[in-house]
C-alpha cells in the first residue's frame, strides 16, 4: 500500500514538474521579442497584380524560417504595408516601418521610381532594403541589396541572342521596334538596348511609350503594323502588356511574323481571365518555373502546399524568397539582426536557390545570376530555349561610358518627370 502511495506521489510530482517546465517555456517564448521585417509592396493600384505575389513569396520564406526555430529562438514577424503604387507614399511607408515599427530590414518596391523614393530613407536611417526586381542598373547603395537582374544579366544577352537566332530570316533587315511603359526602367533599358543594336548593325524601326497601367494600345500597334519591324523588344508592364498582346493578336501580328521579346512578362501574367496571349513569343528572366532541378521542384512543392496547386511562381517571386533567405543567413552569421551588423555579413552570402547557385557580389551589392530566355507555351509556362550556362557577374554601370556620363543621361530622363 505504501509502495503504491509512493508511486502515485512520484507521478503527481512528475506531472507538476512537466507542467511547470511547459509554463516556464511558454512564458519564456512569449517574452522573447520577435524580429520585425518590413514588407513594402503595392497591394492596390496598377502595380498590385505584380506585387501581391511577392508578398506571398516573402511570407512563405518567413514561415519556413520560423518553423526551423527562427533566428536564435526569435520569430521573424512581417509588418506589411501597402505602397498603393505611389512612389512618394512608398517612401513615407518606409519611414514609418523604420522609425515607428522598428523593422530590421525592408523587402520591397517594384518600379524604379518606388525604389528611388525609398533609397534616401534607408540611407538616412542606415537601414537595409532588399530589392528583388530586374531593373535598369545605374545605381549602387550601401543600404540596398539588389537581387534582381542588371541589364547585362537580362537585356544584353537577349539582344545578342535575338539578333543571332531570330533574325536568320533576313540578315539584312535587322529592324527592331522598342515599346515600353513610360517610366525609368523602360526608358533607360531601351537606351542601353539602342547602344547594343547599333553595335551589331541593327536599326530602331520605332520607339514608343504609354502611361504605366494604360490599355490604350491601338495607335501603338497601328504604328508597328506600318513600320513592319523584324522583332519587338517589350518593356510594358502588367495591364498594358495584356492589352498589347490582345491587340497584336487582333490585327494578326504573330510570333512567326514578328516575335516579341519581353523583359517584364512572366508566369504570373499568363494566368486568369485576362490571360496575356503571348504563346510563341519570348521572355527573358533568370528564373522560370519550368526549371527542372531538384531544388526547384522541392521549392514549387512547398509553394503549392502553402498556396494551392494553381499558384504559379515567377522570377521576382523567387528573387524575393531567396532575398529573405540570404538575410536570415547573414543575421545568423552576424549574431544580430541590427542592419549595421548584417550589412557586413550579407556580402559573404551565397545560396543553392531554386534557380541554381546565387551569390552576392561584394563590390556591387548585386547578385550573380544565370540569364535565361523562355518561349511561352499555351499553358502559361515557358520552355527554356537558351541560358548563359553559368551565373553572370552583375554590372550595374556598363563600362563603355563613365559613371558621370551615365549620370547625365539618367538625369535627363528623370528631368522629363518619369
Q: Which three cell numbers stand for residue 122?
A: 534607408
The structure's pTM equals 0.88
Instruction: Tell whether 337 is covered by a domain.
Output: yes
Whether residues 134 and 185 share a domain: the answer is: no
User: Do residues 220 and 295 both lie within one domain?
Assistant: no
Flag whether 323 is in a domain. yes
Strands (E), 354-417: 356-360, 367-368, 372-376, 382-387
Q: 48 and 177 share a domain?
A: no
Provide CB contacts within 8 A for 373, sequence distance 6+: 157, 158, 161, 261, 282, 283, 284, 384, 385, 386, 387
The number of distinct structural domains making up the chain is 2
Confirm whether 378 is domain-assigned. Answer: no
144 & 163 share domain: no
d(Cα 347, Cα 365) in Å, to the nearest integer?
7
pLDDT digits (tens, 9 = 90+) for 205-261: 999 999 988 999 999 999 999 999 999 999 998 788 889 999 999 999 999 989 999
> Do 192 and 302 lie in a common domain?
no
**176: domain range?**
153-290+397-414
Segment 295-311 mean pLDDT? 96
Residue 411 pLDDT class (50, 70, 90 cuts): confident
pLDDT band at 184 (very low <50, low <70, confident <90, very high): confident
Task: Please tell me whether residues 171 and 284 are part of one structural domain.
Answer: yes
State whether 409 and 275 are in the same domain.
yes
Q: Both 283 and 406 in a single domain?
A: yes
Integer distance in angstroms from the first to the last C-alpha of the chain?
Answer: 89
My answer on whether 201 and 235 are in the same domain is: yes
246 and 334, same domain (yes or no): no
Residue 394 gets which letter from DSSP? P
- Domain CATH code at residue 234: 3.40.50.2300
* Residues 128 and 49 both lie in one domain: yes
Q: Which of 76-90, 160-174, 257-271, 365-379 has the lowest mean pLDDT?
A: 160-174
Runs of H (alpha helix) within 125-237: 155-165, 184-199, 218-227
Q: Which residues contact 251 (CB under 8 A, 6 or more apart)?
A: 221, 222, 225
Rg of the Cα atoms in the chain:
25
- Same-domain status, 272 and 408: yes
2 within domain boundaries = no
DSSP single-letter state for residue 80: E
Contact assessment for residue 341 and residue 98, using Cβ atoms and an 8 Å cutoff = no
Q: Is residue 23 part of a domain?
A: no
Q: Percentage helix, strand, coil, to 5, in the chain?
A: 45, 20, 35
Q: What is the pLDDT of residues 154-182, one digit of tens each?
A: 999 989 999 988 765 555 458 999 999 99
Cα–Cα dist 222/307, whole Å: 41
Amino acid at each position: 500500500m505504501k509502495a503504491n502511495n509512493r508511486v502515485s506521489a512520484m507521478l503527481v510530482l512528475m506531472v507538476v514538474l512537466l507542467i511547470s517546465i511547459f509554463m516556464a517555456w511558454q512564458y519564456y517564448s512569449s517574452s522573447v521579442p520577435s524580429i520585425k521585417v518590413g514588407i513594402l509592396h503595392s497591394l492596390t493600384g496598377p502595380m498590385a497584380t505584380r506585387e501581391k505575389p511577392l508578398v506571398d513569396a516573402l511570407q512563405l520564406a518567413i514561415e519556413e524560417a520560423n518553423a526551423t526555430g527562427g533566428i536564435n529562438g526569435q520569430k521573424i514577424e512581417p509588418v506589411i504595408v501597402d505602397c498603393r503604387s505611389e512612389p512618394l507614399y512608398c517612401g513615407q511607408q518606409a519611414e514609418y516601418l523604420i522609425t515607428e515599427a522598428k523593422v530590421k530590414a525592408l523587402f520591397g518596391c517594384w518600379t524604379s521610381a518606388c525604389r528611388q523614393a525609398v533609397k534616401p530613407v534607408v540611407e538616412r536611417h542606415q537601414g537595409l532594403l532588399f530589392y528583388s526586381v530586374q531593373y535598369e542598373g545605374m545605381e549602387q547603395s550601401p543600404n540596398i541589396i539588389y537581387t534582381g537582374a542588371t541589364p547585362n544579366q537580362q537585356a544584353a544577352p537577349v539582344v545578342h541572342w535575338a539578333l543571332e537566332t531570330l533574325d536568320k530570316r533576313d540578315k539584312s533587315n535587322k529592324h527592331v521596334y522598342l515599346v515600353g511603359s513610360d517610366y525609368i526602367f523602360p526608358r533607360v533599358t531601351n537606351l542601353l538596348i539602342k547602344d547594343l543594336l547599333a553595335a551589331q548593325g541593327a536599326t530602331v524601326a520605332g520607339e514608343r511609350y504609354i502611361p504605366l497601367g494604360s490599355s490604350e494600345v491601338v495607335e501603338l500597334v497601328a504604328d508597328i503594323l506600318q513600320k513592319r519591324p523584324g522583332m519587338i523588344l517589350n518593356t510594358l508592364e502588367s495591364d498594358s502588356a495584356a492589352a498589347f498582346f490582345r491587340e497584336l493578336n487582333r490585327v494578326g501580328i504573330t510570333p512567326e511574323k514578328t516575335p516579341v521579346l519581353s523583359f517584364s512578362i512572366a508566369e504570373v501574367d499568363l494566368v486568369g481571365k485576362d490571360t496575356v496571349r503571348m504563346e510563341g513569343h519570348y521572355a527573358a528572366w533568370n528564373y522560370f518555373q519550368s526549371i527542372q532541378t531538384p531544388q526547384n521542384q522541392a521549392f514549387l512543392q512547398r509553394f503549392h502546399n502553402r498556396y494551392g496547386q494553381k499558384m504559379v511562381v515567377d522570377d521576382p517571386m523567387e528573387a524575393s524568397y531567396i532575398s529573405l533567405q540570404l538575410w536570415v543567413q547573414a543575421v545568423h552569421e552576424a549574431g544580430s539582426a541590427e542592419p549595421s551588423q548584417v550589412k557586413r555579413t550579407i556580402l559573404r552570402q551565397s545560396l543553392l536557390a531554386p534557380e541554381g547557385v546565387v551569390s552576392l557580389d561584394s563590390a556591387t551589392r548585386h547578385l550573380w545570376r544565370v540569364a535565361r530566355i523562355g518561349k511561352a507555351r499555351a499553358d502559361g509556362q515557358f520552355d527554356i530555349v537558351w541560358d548563359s550556362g553559368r551565373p553572370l557577374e552583375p554590372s550595374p554601370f556598363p563600362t563603355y561610358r563613365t559613371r558621370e556620363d551615365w549620370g547625365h543621361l539618367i538625369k535627363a530622363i528623370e528631368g522629363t518627370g518619369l
